[in-house]
Amino acid sequence: MNASEFAVLPAGADFHARRGALSIEYRWIGVDDAHAPIAVFLHEGLGSIAMWKDWPQALCERLGLRGLVYSRPGYGRSTPRASTEKWPVDFMSSQARDVLPALLDALGVSDAERARMWLIGHSDGASIALLYAASFPRGLAGAVVIAPHVFVETISVESIAQTRRAYEATAQQTNPQTTLRAKLSRYHDDVDSAFYGWNDIWLDPAFRAWNIVETLSPITAPLLAVQARDDQYGTLAQIEAIGAAVPHAHVLTLDAGGHSPHRDARATLDDAIDTFMRSRIGAR
């Protein structure tokens, strides 16, 4: 991937109404063709540009796409979350409806380009992709959602609580450089901003009622929803709910791949995305 640049978003684009502008880390990747469709990659709840590693670039080259990767506010090199700031229950909706459109505006992505644009999201990023597709049904060519969340499951909460214990286990480790916190620090300027922003809201009892299934019916763009059977953060009920809410969606179950099939079942996932997208690129 090429070196990061930064886009500045106005305060009104922030999903929790922080006063002051936001600096958003982003990179353009993929093929060098101004006429190629754009694929926007939306990272997971602890992700960033760097945590994608080389997968977005390789996928864009395979499919002949321009790619846009960015770190959401609170992540990577983007403006961190204030230590006193807690994300609201609807933080993913605001990311889809406010922050992403504002970033596209700041980068000069036209309406015509957006109509040919694909979203490729993982985990929380997949949920944001679904919410964007529902909010702008005619402003998108299609979406691929990997390990999406559309409601809260007990398995998700239990795994996220376990992740918190691992993150806070630094004092018990003989080598602090091997802890989860140390590993995540390589990818985020303010690692506590990234971790607790995500972890606190997912473990908040109020978040147990979060459910976006009924908001998905406006989606008209082609949609591929992928879930692995051995995902420790969610079950097949997630993509089954998507299939019921969006009847034209293509629902794909992987026998293995965990929560990150783009890392742990890469060849299988890439082939599935290739088959799905090639028949639809340029069709809308």
The pLDDT tens digits for 99-134 are 999 999 999 999 999 999 999 999 999 999 999 999
| Residue 174 scores a pLDDT above 70 | no
Q: Is residue 227 assigned to a domain?
A: yes
68: amino acid identity, one letter: L
- Helices 154-167, 191-202: inter-axial angle, 10-degree rounding: 150
Q: So what's the pLDDT on residue 8?
A: 87
Q: How many structural domains comprise the chain?
A: 1
Average pLDDT over every residue of 148-175: 88
Better-scored residue on pLDDT, 181 or 21: 181
pLDDT for residue 1: 61
Sign of the Cα pseudo-torsion (166, 169, 175, 179, in order): positive
Widest CA span in the chain: 56
- pLDDT band, residue 232 (cuts 50/70/90): very high
Q: Is position 284 within any domain?
A: no
pLDDT at residue number 283: 47
Residue 279's SS3 state is coil
Does residue 273 fall inside a structural domain?
A: yes
Does a structural domain hold residue 283?
no
Range of the domain at 182: 5-278
pLDDT bracket for residue 137 (50, 70, 90)? very high
What residue spans of 47-179 are helical by DSSP H?
55-63, 91-94, 100-106, 111-115, 124-135, 154-167
Residue 171 pLDDT: 53
